[in-house]
Structure 1
Amino acid sequence: MKLELLDYIIIFGFFALVLFIGIYVSKKSGQNSTEYFLSGRSMPWWLLGLSMVATTFSTDTPNLVTDLVRSNGVSGNWGWWCFLLTGMLTVFVYAKLWRKSNVKTDLEFYELRYGGKAASFLRKFRAIYLGVLFNVITMASVTLAAIKIGGVMLGLEPWVTVVSAGLITVVFSALGGFKGVVYSDFFLFFMAMAGAIGAAYYLVNLPEVGGLQAVLENENVKDKLSILPDFSDKRALITALIIPLAVQWWSSWYPGGEPGGGGYIAQRMLAAKNENHAIGATFFFNIMHYALRPWPWILVALASLVVYPDIASIHEAFPNVTEDKLGHDLAYSAMMTKLPTGLLGVVMASLVAAYMSTISTQLNWGSSYIVYDFYKQQINPEATEKQMVNVGRISTVLLMVLSAFLALALQDAMGVFNLLLSFGAGTGLIFILRWFWWRINAWSEITAMFSSGILAVLLETTPLRGYLFAPETGIFPEWADLPFIMLVTTIIWLTATFVTQPESKEVLRSFYLKIQPGGPGWAKVVDEAEAENVEIVKTNEKWSVPSGIKAMLSGVVLIYSIMFATGYWIYGKYQLAIILTIVVAVSAFVLLKVWQGMKNVF
């Protein structure tokens, strides 16, 4: 594939714009650590919402969706669609709590909610565990996608892609800080969406593809179209739908889909002007992320089955790609090579935009953990604002270097996705309950974190997997590994909770006084405080969680209905599409009524 002058103008013009933003905001971003990592807590909902969408539109996402569709059909996407429930719970229950906490990172929450050495250890350990280990793995997965795109579309060696893609991103991220990330995300979002939609329209109408109707009627595609898994296939139903909706969404920690909010989603909520803007940002993000954005990728994945029906056909077309990088996820990049001049430049710029948005966010977020939750806590408690900004910039560069080396060793995005889900299995329930149940303590989280990680490693690297989950000889069916980790982890952390001492009265009362979580889970703490004439309840408002759950369920119905309706309009199944469109209108009306009845909402 050859880029023409117009393509280069589009791509380098985009690079120049992003670098200009980073340089322009660098002076203000470097004033202090709050500006560098949270932009002074002054961001509006619409800008933060667009930033969340742009961040989760990474170069590995189209590859992952393509892999899922080609391997398991459209219904294979329920592995990540299920996290909409987590997202809606964050919108209507947790967004205002995070903003009210006024912490600088979500890890600072640990020393707000817990006390003593265990809380201090938890905060510092997770700063490295999440900010470095998990963060580097996630960025390596994104960079792996860039390597595959560079290899297939431009014939670049992996190291060339890593250096060229990473260098401009790390310079921009280190200079501009969070403000640079969010401001550039505004442009990255529109560039990425334009590229995805334009590519889908053009590729579906290629002569060798034959148009949308030809795609839908193709023998390689017919059995991949269903949005829901085949209910007669018990294994597919359990794996693709039941496990994600019944267990995965609330039990697993995953970057961008943390139960109760966390990570870079929490960072954006903490950067919002106020609680209402935090709620508005996360709601807007969930609509765009789940309801509308996946379909251009899905259409390209389906069209790829017409042109490249299997991995062998991809390898035949691109013999220079090494076997360790071969997989169904390469089909997306393979299809991009068929784009014409101009549109090719837009798509290449959109893929660069997707890469830069995700990596810059991960770098800034991970660096904030290193600075606030490890460096200032463990190494230099008296660090000045200038020192913290400098450490933030240095750690940004180091994180990029580590992820680049790891990316060269990885093979496919699907494996990384499943590994991260396994590592976080069983921990999600703690993140949901810790705001509303006083008895959870630091040891609950410590034991959950270690047990889920150890179990995930054991199942991947030892005969334990074969003994428990081998299809013919194992005790459990193969799909049961995630529920198994979740169940064992939950038993372990619940046991640890009740055999260890609860948090002190001072810690619990201080947390309640600041957050005002309410509910029966804090009744014991409130009653004891009242008996001792200690006032910790500052409001007489009705507990908002029941209304929040109603709003969450209405929002889930609304967004899934939009997603389904969009798919059926594309498929030409107009009766189902019309019915679902009516459901969209009704659920939107119900959500609006519930929302209006809630206190302190956007």
Structure 2
Amino acid sequence: MELSTLDVSFIIVFFSVVLGIGVYVSKKSGKNSSEFFLSGRTMPWWLLGLSMVATTFSTDTPNLVTDIVRTSGVSGNWVWWCFLLTGMLTVFVYAKLWRKSNVKTDLEFYELRYGGKPASFLRKFRSIYLGALFNIITMASVTLAAIKIGGIMLGLEPWETVVGAGLITVVFSALGGFKGVVYTDFLLFFVAMAGAIGAAFYLVNIPEVGGIEALIAHENVSDKLNILPDFDNTNVLITMFIIPIAVQWWSSWYPGAEPGGGGYIAQRMLAAKNENHAIGATFFFTIMHYALRPWPWILVALASLVVYPDVASIAQAFPDVAENKLGQDLAYSAMLTKLPSGLLGVVLASLVAAYMSTISTQLNWGSSYIVFDFYKQQINPNATEKQMVAVGRMATVGLMLLSALLALTLQNAFEVFDLLVTFGAGTGLVFILRWFWWRINAWSEITAMFVSGIISIVLVKTSLGHILFDPMTGVFPEWANYPFVVLVTTTIWVTVTLCTKPESDQTLRAFYKKIQPGGPGWAKVVDKAILAKVDISHPKEKWSVPAGITAMLLGVALVYASMFATGFWIYGENTNASIAAGIALISGLLLIKVWNSLKEEIL
């Protein structure tokens, strides 16, 4: 595919602006570690919210959505739409708690909530486990998508894409730090949205597709339009809807959707001006991420079923693509090759924007773990600010290099998604309850983390998984695999919790005094402190969790109803769209009332 002068000019200007921002903020970002990783905790909610949305655009997300839609239909997206419940819980319950903690990374929380050697071990281990291992896998998935886009649209070899995209991103990330990431995310958000919407509008109306009405009526598409799964297909209903909504959202750790908040979402909450801005940022992100942004990708995925009905047709159209990179997810890139000059440049820039935003965030977040939670804790407790920034920049380069090498060996975006979700199965409940149940200790998290990983590996890599869950000969149906991991993991970590010593009174009282989590889960600690005449409660601080959960449920109704309304409007089902919009409006009005009762005025 040949790029016009206009396309190339747009891309060059875009790269120049992004790198210019990185250079411009590099001096201030390198001033100290707080500036490099949290921008001095001065960020407003709207900028952080836009940054979260831009970060989760990613190059692998449209590929993942395309893979899901082509394989399981629009309703297959419930495997990640379910994480809206996690997001809303973070907005109305955990965002305030994270910002009050005033930690530099969410792993620093461990030595605030727990004590002794187990807490220290947990913090150091998770810094490598998440900051390096999981982070590298996530970035490799994003880079794999870039490889496929480069191969399909520009005819680039995998190594050429990795070197070209990775080099610019790592230089920008190492220079600009967190401030550079957030500032450029503001630009990247608008470029990425324009590219996604522009591509969807044009591709649905190309002659091969024939417009939205012809698309919806096409035989390859008509059976994949339902937003909810087929309730007559028990296996699909359980796998794609019931398990995600009933179990997956609260039980699994997944980057960007951690139960109770965490990762780069927590990093942005910690960088906010105050608690109100932390809540506002996560609320804005959650609405955009689930209600509006997926539909342009879904439309392109549906249109691709008309132009490229199967993988064989993609392979025939693009014979130079390596066999180990072929898959349903390639259809998104394949469709983009049909864009006209000008729009093509915008879309390519938007994909570059998505890649840079996600990778730069992952690099800054991952290196913050390595610096604060491993280097300073384990190697050099007396490290100067200058040394920590230097190590952060070196870690940024190292993480980029390792993820690029791994990306060259991967094949499919959904496989990585499934791996990450399953590997973290059963750990989520610990992250949710550790703020509100005093009895949870460091051993609870250590146990959950190791048991979940070990069971997942055993079921995937050994014959036991086939004996238990093989669809033809297994003892249990295939859909029971994930709930099984959750049940076993949860049972073991709860048992270990009750069989090990609780955290010391000193640790528990210090945590309660700082965070004020409230609720019956801390009643024993508060009562004991009162008897000891130790003041740990703030009289004006009320337990806001019940109101927070009410706000969460209303927020979920608002976003899901908005998502349905958007889909029905696109499908031309105006009556259903109006009903869904009405539900969204009512939910929004009730949410405002509850929000005011929480006295969390964001604006």
* TM bracket, shorter-chain basis: over 0.9
Q: Residue 159 in 1 paired to residue 150 in 2?
A: no
Aligned to 1:476: 476
Mapped partners of 1:600, 1:563: distance in 2 = 25
**What residue identity is the alignment partner of 2:216?**
L
Mapped partners of 1:599, 1:444: distance in 2 = 34
**Partner secondary structure for residue 227 of structure 2:** coil
Matches within 5 A, 1:306-345: 306-345=306-345
Matches within 5 A, 1:398-409: 398-409=398-409
Contact 2:200 2:299 in 1 (8 A): yes
1:542 deviates by 2.7
Which stretch of the first structure deviates more once superposed, 550-559 or 538-547? 538-547
1:538 deviates by 1.5
Mapped partners of 1:451, 1:542: distance in 2 = 36
Q: Residue 128 in 1 paired to residue 119 in 2?
A: no
Deviations 1:100-123 (A, max 9, x none): 000000000000000000000000
Deviations 1:378-407 (A, max 9, x none): 000000000000000000000000000000
Contact 1:7 1:344 in 2 (8 A): yes
Mapped partners of 1:420, 1:378: distance in 2 = 27
Matches within 5 A, 1:243-262: 243-262=243-262
Aligned to 1:94: 94
1:494 deviates by 0.4
Mapped partners of 1:64, 1:591: distance in 2 = 32
Contact 2:66 2:297 in 1 (8 A): yes
**What residue identity is the alignment partner of 2:347?**
V
Mapped partners of 2:540, 2:47: distance in 1 = 33
Deviations 1:538-591 (A, max 9, x none): 133331000000000000000000000000000011110111111111111010
Matches within 5 A, 1:33-182: 33-182=33-182
Deviations 1:420-471 (A, max 9, x none): 0011100000000000000000000000000000111111111011011011
Mapped partners of 1:166, 1:322: distance in 2 = 20
Mapped partners of 2:358, 2:472: distance in 1 = 41
**What residue identity is the alignment partner of 1:229?**
P
Mapped partners of 1:229, 1:98: distance in 2 = 36
Aligned to 1:271: 271
Aligned to 1:460: 460
Mapped partners of 2:171, 2:443: distance in 1 = 39
Mapped partners of 2:258, 2:61: distance in 1 = 17
Matches within 5 A, 1:369-380: 369-380=369-380
- State the identity as a percent: 76
Aligned to 1:590: 590
Contact 1:29 1:178 in 2 (8 A): yes
Contact 1:95 1:279 in 2 (8 A): yes
Deviations 1:243-272 (A, max 9, x none): 000000000000000000000000000000
Deviations 1:77-120 (A, max 9, x none): 00000000000000000000000000000000000000000000
Aligned to 1:354: 354
Aligned to 1:534: 534
Deviations 1:346-397 (A, max 9, x none): 0000000000000000000000000000000000000000000000000000
Q: Residue 516 in 1 paired to residue 516 in 2?
A: yes
Mapped partners of 1:537, 1:493: distance in 2 = 29
**Partner secondary structure for residue 227 of structure 1:** coil
**What residue identity is the alignment partner of 2:176?**
G
1:15 deviates by 0.2
Aligned to 2:426: 426
Contact 1:57 1:358 in 2 (8 A): yes
Mapped partners of 2:181, 2:541: distance in 1 = 37
**What residue identity is the alignment partner of 2:32?**
N
Contact 1:279 1:601 in 2 (8 A): no
Mapped partners of 2:355, 2:236: distance in 1 = 32
Contact 1:544 1:599 in 2 (8 A): no
Mapped partners of 2:36, 2:212: distance in 1 = 47
Mapped partners of 2:8, 2:401: distance in 1 = 27
Aligned to 1:577: 577
Q: Residue 441 in 1 paired to residue 441 in 2?
A: yes
User: Alignment length, in residue pairs?
Assistant: 602
Aligned to 2:25: 25
Deviations 1:172-209 (A, max 9, x none): 00000000000000000000000000000000000111
What is the aligned-residue RMSD (CA, Å)? Answer: 0.6
Aligned to 2:560: 560
Q: Residue 502 in 1 paired to residue 502 in 2?
A: yes
**What residue identity is the alignment partner of 2:44?**
P
Mapped partners of 1:300, 1:473: distance in 2 = 38
Aligned to 1:493: 493
1:472 deviates by 2.5
1:168 deviates by 0.2
Matches within 5 A, 1:199-210: 199-210=199-210
Q: Residue 381 in 1 paired to residue 381 in 2?
A: yes
Aligned to 2:396: 396
Mapped partners of 1:154, 1:84: distance in 2 = 35
Mapped partners of 1:541, 1:450: distance in 2 = 36
Mapped partners of 1:235, 1:334: distance in 2 = 31
Mapped partners of 1:591, 1:329: distance in 2 = 37
User: Unaligned 5+ residue runs, structure 1?
Assistant: none
Contact 2:516 2:541 in 1 (8 A): no
**Partner secondary structure for residue 193 of structure 2:** helix
Contact 2:78 2:244 in 1 (8 A): yes
Aligned to 2:184: 184
Mapped partners of 1:338, 1:66: distance in 2 = 17
**What residue identity is the alignment partner of 1:420?**
L
Mapped partners of 2:409, 2:298: distance in 1 = 28
Q: Residue 240 in 1 paired to residue 222 in 2?
A: no
Contact 1:509 1:536 in 2 (8 A): yes
Mapped partners of 2:473, 2:62: distance in 1 = 36
Aligned to 1:550: 550
Mapped partners of 1:397, 1:460: distance in 2 = 32
**Partner secondary structure for residue 534 of structure 1:** coil
Deviations 1:471-513 (A, max 9, x none): 1221111111111110000011001101110000000000000
Which stretch of the first structure deviates more once superposed, 580-589 or 36-45? 580-589
Mapped partners of 1:74, 1:410: distance in 2 = 25
Mapped partners of 1:517, 1:175: distance in 2 = 38
1:600 deviates by 3.9
1:601 deviates by 4.5
Aligned to 1:297: 297
**What residue identity is the alignment partner of 2:99?**
R
Mapped partners of 2:332, 2:63: distance in 1 = 6
Mapped partners of 2:520, 2:112: distance in 1 = 20
Aligned to 2:11: 11
**Partner secondary structure for residue 464 of structure 1:** helix
**Partner secondary structure for residue 451 of structure 2:** helix
1:522 deviates by 0.1
Contact 1:131 1:366 in 2 (8 A): yes
Aligned to 1:287: 287
1:599 deviates by 3.3
User: Unaligned 5+ residue runs, structure 2?
Assistant: none
